Amino acid sequence: MTTSDLPRLSVATAGPGAQPEVEPITIVTGLPRSGTSMMMQMLVAGGCRALVDDRRPADPNNPRGYHEYEPVTRLHLNSRWLPEARGRVLKVVAPLLRHLPGTGSDGQPLRYRVIFMRREVGQVVASQLRMLRNLGREHEAPAEAILLAAMRQEVVAADQWVAHHAASVIDIDYLATRQDPSATAQRLAAFLPGLDATRAGLAVVPPPLEASDEDATERGHPLP
């Protein structure tokens, strides 16, 4: 396990004589290929401590890395490590949110504040299929219609989890962030006390629009 060496985000404490609030875990979530890795880059650059191990290396599909913590993939089997994430940022893709418990292995409550990356589902699916093709694994992909339906269901389930379990949430638009990262960084700074919005905004180097984005523009479909 490694964490960034940047300072902890400030967290408000309770009044005199009261027990301080348990530090929240900041969850970066969204569908796979919705910009969660980009958001992790922004937050670390802006001063957040991220719980990551980088066991999944960078590749042509994500040349700046995935910023993941491998035990997240096994949350349904083991979540005892989650108290370590208090005061840090943790990437948990939307399908895994349902496995986050309300109480830690230390008996203390787990509080979650959520940064939810939003991207039009059709573009997410197109990006996922392109990624599989790049990896030579397109044979593993289900039919596009099936994948679209599954991803839409995951968004509904994730929204329900957030509504019932998140202490606070902010929705971040993927394409808007690529086009104007400084504006997104200012919104994040209002949501996360102590975040350096200038450094966070400068962390994003907008790549050329993916084909799915360009196609959506040409067809008049809503962009992410």
Q: Which helix (H) or strand (E) holds 36?
A: helix 36-45
> Distances from the Cα of 97 to the Cαs of 70, 103, 178, in angstroms?
15, 14, 25
What residues does each domain of the chain span?
2-7+22-219
For the domain 2-7+22-219, what is the CATH superfamily, name and number?
P-loop containing nucleotide triphosphate hydrolases (3.40.50.300)
User: In tens digits, what is the pLDDT along the chain, a chain of 224 residues?
Assistant: 433 333 334 444 344 554 567 899 999 999 999 999 999 999 999 999 999 997 888 877 677 878 999 999 999 999 999 999 999 999 999 999 999 999 999 999 999 999 999 999 999 988 878 877 766 776 666 777 888 899 999 999 999 999 999 999 999 999 999 999 999 999 999 999 999 999 999 998 765 554 444 333 333 333 33
Model pLDDT, residue 154: 95
